[in-house]
Structure 1
Amino acid sequence: MTAYSDIQVDTPYNGVQLIRLNRHDAHNALRTALLGELATALAAAAEDKRVRAVVITGSEKVFAAGADIKEMAALDAVGLWKDQRPQHWQTIRSFSKPLIASVNGYCLGGGMELAMHADMIIAGEDARFGQPEINLGIIPGAGGTQRLVRSVGKALAMKLVLSGEFINAREALAAGLVAEVTQPELTLKRATALAETIASKSPIALRLAKEAILASYETPLSQGLELERKAFLFLAATQDRQEGIDAFLEKRPPQFTGQ
């Protein structure tokens, strides 16, 4: 089993694996080592048949406050060019199973970019979201400008990135950045319960549904509809599809196997 220091990886339960960011003394700052461990954990989860969904969370007061500024300050342009961070982000981005971010407290900079890599965000009432990189004379560098505008639109994305100001959980919900807002003490419980609900579905259908939805950000409507139709037809040949129909007709819960 892989040993981690910057994250904690729980044993899968009810099809869900919980990953906790574990640099609480540094407000879960996303140094390269943490991102590398997270990428390794997600790569392993992608191959683990026990895992059907993953929840990523931080602490009660902070999800992640951003990149590790001390580490960043030691790198010049060439150092940043050689850095392994883009490869780690690519591994996180390509994770094929449902990924939920459970967010309490501050979710800023790289932390917000990490949350936006998830398929959905469950936020506590105390959550605060922002891209304050502009205050350091830089801009988001892990997809923040691109994902944010696709989530909340141009106007709010411009406001957050150009001003460095934060928004609260309710504002994030209204803007479409988060899927649901809960009481702070219930955030992880709700995210886990939702993950368990998702994990009870057909793994094949979940993967194809995720792929189709993500493709909608990068393809014309006609191409997206074609992709959706092909996935729909492919699922007609699976055992899970037959099990789902049989269970519905027999009025019992389906038992999906990913076949």
Structure 2
Amino acid sequence: MSTSTLGRVVLSKFLGNKSNFKYNQVTKNVRLFSAVADNFEFIKLSKTGEQQNIGLIQLNRPKALNALNNGLMEEVGKALEKLDSDSSVGAIVITGNEKAFAAGADIKEMANNTFAQCVGGNFLESWTKVSSTRKPLIAAVNGYALGGGCELAMMCDIIYAGESAKFGQPEILIGIIPGAGGTQRLIRSVGKSKAMEIVLTGNQVNAQDAEKMGLVSKVFPADKLLGETVKLAEKIASNSQITNAIAKECVNVALESTLKEGLRFEKRMFHACFATKDQKEGMAAFVEKRKAKFTNE
């Protein structure tokens, strides 16, 4: 790990032995986009799944353990915008490599920032594109998901983890706090006490404990993780894209409103489903005991 991630001063504290497992890249049935605009420097963008309807974004700065610099996050934002507007894509997966999902934001890049520069330049603004993605977004986390890497995973709708995954918010150890949702999203997943412990100590949480505390949905062997994540994405993508988007919005509203307001919003969105062709098709298919053929209308 280089000084461009969490810094040599905390290297031994944050990172233990390197992972030695093989990483399943799920290359079968993966087709790369061919457009020139998709020649990214810091990520790999492809489609996968039996129907090629799953967008796959792989963070690709292996020498820096996928440290999240501005260029990488801008590319992630562009890739998500492309996939979000692609009608053939029903769900999106973000992953890293066998050693790291992302070991943190690029500390070397931000070390000399001033308060005025951060405010004037709207620092970290590009990260909001992840949480504003309309389509279901799943993080497949192997290795380290620390600092900004943990925050990026939490911006996704679901987190699947490999058995050796490590989560944490170690910013406190280098004199800052999480700045991309770490103090806000973590407490909604694990509660106040656990969130405080993670944020104030900088300690890492292994995949098994992350699952127990509700940060992670499921844990798999490292070489099975991406395949299982794609299976989940395919299951979700088989639904109506309209209904997926409505359901996702309702769950997110529940995190940001009172129960009364959330219930009111949910009821209105439930009513709205009856204005779609997919509702008519879904219910007709159920009555006729056949598989629904959704048209996303």
TM range (shorter): over 0.9
Of stretches 194-203 and 78-87 in structure 1, the one that deviates more from structure 2 is 78-87
Whole-Å separation in 2 of the counterparts to 1:158 and 1:214? 22
Whole-Å separation in 2 of the counterparts to 1:169 and 1:86? 27
Q: 1:22 to 1:119 in 2, by over 3 A?
A: same
Amino acid at match of 1:93: S
Work out whether 1:39 is the aligned partner of 2:77.
Answer: yes
Counterpart residue number, 2:16? none
Amino acid at match of 1:169: A
3-state SS of 2:151 partner? helix
Work out whether 1:156 is the aligned partner of 2:194.
Answer: yes
Whole-Å separation in 2 of the counterparts to 1:46 and 1:12? 15
Q: Is the 8 A contact 1:32 1:84 kept in 2?
A: no
User: TM-score, normalized by length of structure 1?
Assistant: 0.97
Shift of residue 12, structure 1, vs aligned partner: 5.4
Instruction: State the Cα deviation string for residues 30-85 of structure 1 (Å, max 9, x = none).
Output: 00010000011111111110111100000011100000011011322222223454
Of stretches 68-77 and 202-211 in structure 1, the one that deviates more from structure 2 is 68-77
Shift of residue 247, structure 1, vs aligned partner: 1.4
Work out whether 1:80 is the aligned partner of 2:118.
Answer: yes
Counterpart residue number, 1:51? 89
Q: Is the 8 A contact 1:35 1:85 kept in 2?
A: no
- Pairing partner for 2:99 from 49, 55, 61: 61
Counterpart residue number, 1:234? 272
Shift of residue 92, structure 1, vs aligned partner: 1.3
Work out whether 1:5 is the aligned partner of 2:67.
Answer: no
- Pairing partner for 2:156 from 112, 118, 123: 118
Counterpart residue number, 2:167? 129
- Pairing partner for 1:99 from 137, 159, 165: 137
Whole-Å separation in 1 of the counterparts to 2:120 and 2:207? 36
Shift of residue 252, structure 1, vs aligned partner: 1.8
Task: Provide the aligned length of Structure 1 versus Structure 2.
Answer: 259
Amino acid at match of 1:6: F
Work out whether 1:181 is the aligned partner of 2:209.
Answer: no
Shift of residue 173, structure 1, vs aligned partner: 0.5
**Structure 2, unaligned stretches of length 5 or more?**
1-34
Shift of residue 17, structure 1, vs aligned partner: 0.4
Of stretches 172-181 and 76-85 in structure 1, the one that deviates more from structure 2 is 76-85
Whole-Å separation in 2 of the counterparts to 1:8 and 1:174? 31
State, as a whole percentage, how many aligned pairs show the same letter: 48
Whole-Å separation in 2 of the counterparts to 1:90 and 1:77? 20
Shift of residue 250, structure 1, vs aligned partner: 2.1
Counterpart residue number, 1:257? 295
Whole-Å separation in 2 of the counterparts to 1:20 and 1:219? 33
Whole-Å separation in 1 of the counterparts to 2:240 and 2:122? 34
Counterpart residue number, 2:209? 171
**Structure 1, unaligned stretches of length 5 or more?**
none
Q: What is the RMSD computed on CA atoms of the aligned residues?
A: 1.1
Whole-Å separation in 2 of the counterparts to 1:249 and 1:141? 49
Counterpart residue number, 2:247? 209
